[in-house]
Amino acid sequence: MTPQEALSPAAAPESSTKAALWEELQRAIRSRMKPEQFETWFRRAALASIDGDVLRIAVQNTFSRDWLRTYYSEVLAESAREVLREPRRVEVLVDPELLLAAAPAQAVAGQIMPGQIARGPLAAQPAPAGADRGLAREAHALGTSRATESPRGLLSTSDVGLNPKYTFENFVVGPCNRFAHAAALGSAEAPGKAYNPFFLHGSVGLGKTHLLQSLCWAILDRAPRARILYLSCETFVNHFINSLENGDIAKFRNKYRNVDVLVVDDIHLLANKERTQEEFFHTFNTLYQSGKQIVLSSDSPPKDIPSLQERLVSRFRWGLVTEVEPPCFETRMAILKRKSRERGRELTDEIASLLAERIDSNIRELEGAVTKLLGFAGVSGLPISPDLAREALRELFHSRRGQPSMEDILTLVTEHFGVKLSDLQSKKRTNAIAYPRQVAMYLARQITRHSLEEIGGFFGGRDHSTVIYAVEKIQQLHEQDPATRALLDGFLGRLQAPRG
Ligand code: ADP
Ligand code: MG
């Protein structure tokens, strides 16, 4: 029977005709894309209905629907034309019930809320009413996670309670982060399904941690018992090393491999950590193979993480890799106003733009400026005027003497020596790399407030003794070698010169 016959009114019962047509359509769709694209977007889709000249395809969540509409409408139209031999209009709609049809062993929903699966899957549930949700948030934020009542939920082994402010509602969306935001929402709607792994990268202070935690909150809102392990990469490394030392590696594995969602913030700290990378590789595989969601953030894309094993690089790219970029002017304005409103004061456009013009990269700094300005206004009892802003944030308006950032130092040093940041962070010890690295550490020690550990962290996770050694060595050269002295003084002068 051809699909057309199958669709004639006199043909077999509706379900089997639909099934046959859907099979044909899937074949046509599959032939138009890479297997992994098909797996991601069409494996779990279904043919909802066909009436008149409209063919309706159902997917599990709004994110998939929007994605298909944007990127696959042509493929769908062509496939329909090929199979039905005449053009049809193809519509994509959301059918939350679809998840029920997914294999239970794979479905996160099945494991998280066995009692509730008949009511509706994890991905499809509307968020519960505010009160419940507030309570859950409070408990999780306090790190208590109501552990005695429910053994599930944000796991107590997560290294921090989630910040109740880091939610999607409080996240300002702009062109710089629209895609990352949508993808985080998508992952939260269909953990283990939409994108696995979900890999988010971008410079410091651009909202990666905020998005990761929003994703956790959104999953917990729908499924308060979802077993989420949220932690920084550093904690993973420390747990691993401790368990090696204590000989309880089995316990370690048990903990990390028995979760529904594993979220590791700042995964770039795996750089140069061979054995932890090895362990993470196995953790990743175990979770991935059982359809568990993996979410990672990093300050650089997978391939730029120094000495990250190739097999991890390739796995990190299996799902979706997306970037948060520095916010544009309008987004900075919106963030300033939002942060101020959250603190109970409104900023006028004039004030917001005054600040947005001067803080142009880091959202954490925007937040800091608002806090400072409101604090200043509160203490002085004066209304927030441009003059007050200039007074409160003097360093933004006049010079920024004395407070250059680590980024300034790295930019200066990499430019001067013609080396790459990833080289400074790599294990390479050739003089051409080691010397600039030591100079950068020295400068960081001289003019930033970072601790030795933090400075080591910027250079591929080196420990504090390496930093001390570098600082002392360069200090010595500064005293003994006029050329080095001239170079360093030049650097210091430039870093501390008034800017903007
Ligand atoms: P990262 O992890 O990328 O270094 P964070 O997530 O810690 O950055 O963000 C730094 C601060 O800026 C946080 O307080 C966060 O709430 C805030 N922030 C970042 N992006 C946004 C955004 N788009 N909307 C609102 N606040 C944001
Ligand atoms: Mg962060």
The pick from 363, 407, 458 for probing ligand 1's pocket by mutation, whose C-beta has the most ligand atoms within 8 angstroms, reads 363
Ligand nearest to the CA of 206: 1
* 207 C-beta closer than 6 A to ligand 1: yes
Q: Give dist(CA 188, CA 198) in Å, integer.
A: 10
Ligand 1, atom 11: closest residue by C-alpha: 364
Neighbours of ion ligand 2 (CB under 5 A): 208-209
pTM confidence score: 0.58
Residue-level pLDDT at 14:
61
Q: Are 264 and 168 in contact (CB under 8 A)?
A: no
CB of 168 within 6 A of ligand 1: the answer is no
The whole-number pLDDT of residue 449 equals 78
Residue with tokens 């792994």: 197
**Is the minimum distance from the CB of 363 to ligand 1 under 6 angstroms?**
yes
State in Å: Cα 273 to ligand 1 middle.
Answer: 27
In the sheet with 54-59, reading across from the earlier edge strand, the strands are 46-51, 54-59, 89-94
SS3 at position 150? coil
Q: Are the beta carbons of 329 and 176 closer than 8 angstroms?
A: no
Which two structure tokens, joined as six digits, stand for 301?
Answer: 């894309």
The per-residue DSSP string of 229-268 comes to EEEEHHHHHHHHHHHHHHT-HHHHHHHHHS-SEEEEE-GG
Write out pLDDT tens, residues 77-136: 999 999 988 888 999 987 755 543 443 333 333 222 222 222 222 333 333 333 334 444
Q: What is the bridge-based pairing of β-strands 261-265 and 228-232?
A: parallel
Q: Listing from the earlier edge strand, what are the strands of the sheet with 320-323? A: 228-232, 261-265, 293-298, 198-201, 320-323
- The structure tokens listed for 145 are 């996670």
The 10 Å Cβ neighbour count of residue 227 is 19
Cα–Cα distance for residue pair 224/159, rounded to 1 Å: 18
Report the amino acid identity of residue 383: P
Which ligand 1 atom sits closest to the C-alpha of 173?
Answer: 23
Which atom of ligand 1 approaches the CA of 213 most closely?
A: 6
* Tokens of residue 461, six digits: 């996770």
Kindly calculate the radius of gyration of the chain based on its CA atoms and give it in whole angstroms. 27
Of 178, 184, 194, 192, the residue nearest 65 (C-alpha): 194
Across the strands, what pairs with 343?
none
Question: Which residues of the chain are under the pLDDT cut of 70?
Answer: 1-15, 36, 96-153, 156-160, 398-402, 498-500
User: CA–CA separation, 307 vs 221, rounded Å?
Assistant: 38
Question: Which atom of ligand 1 lies at the shortest distance from residue 210's CA?
Answer: 6
